[in-house]
Structure 1
Amino acid sequence: MISNHLNLVEQQRQHADSISERTAQFLAAGGTIFLGESPAINPPPSKRSTKIDPETILKRRKPPITAAERKALRKLAEAL
């Protein structure tokens, strides 16, 4: 425990000593401590769904008009 507040450290010392005693008793009774693999810090992202909703395809934006279409529209507007 690292703390700038010594009072907090001293308050928790009873718990730390108790844990140390119980760990020593466990090991003296023949217990073993198993150190497993630590979990990943960042879990892998969830799998993307393969389902395609037909309604979302219809809601997609239309492609913008091309330069040739833009020129044709300008000519039509000038003719009016």
Structure 2
Amino acid sequence: MISNHLSLVEHHRPQADRISEKIAQFLAAGGQIDELPSPPRNPIPPARSTRIDPETVLKRKPRKLTLAERRALRKMADSL
């Protein structure tokens, strides 16, 4: 099977070679590479409660005026 990613590997090979050279220079100069433990993973947040606090005031959009209410309001406005 032919890999489509082979050209990407060859494309990035010069950068990988430069990094390898820099690492070799660092180690030759007395540098030391430490392998540290991985950082802790982010914990999954606790599940949200389905209970609603009775003191919470829910803000809901007011219903739109019906056609009959708009006509009545128009009549009232015209009578003024």
Greater relative contact order (Cα < 8 A, sep 6+): 1
TM-score, with structure 1 as normaliser: 0.49
- Which is helix-richer, 1 or 2? 1
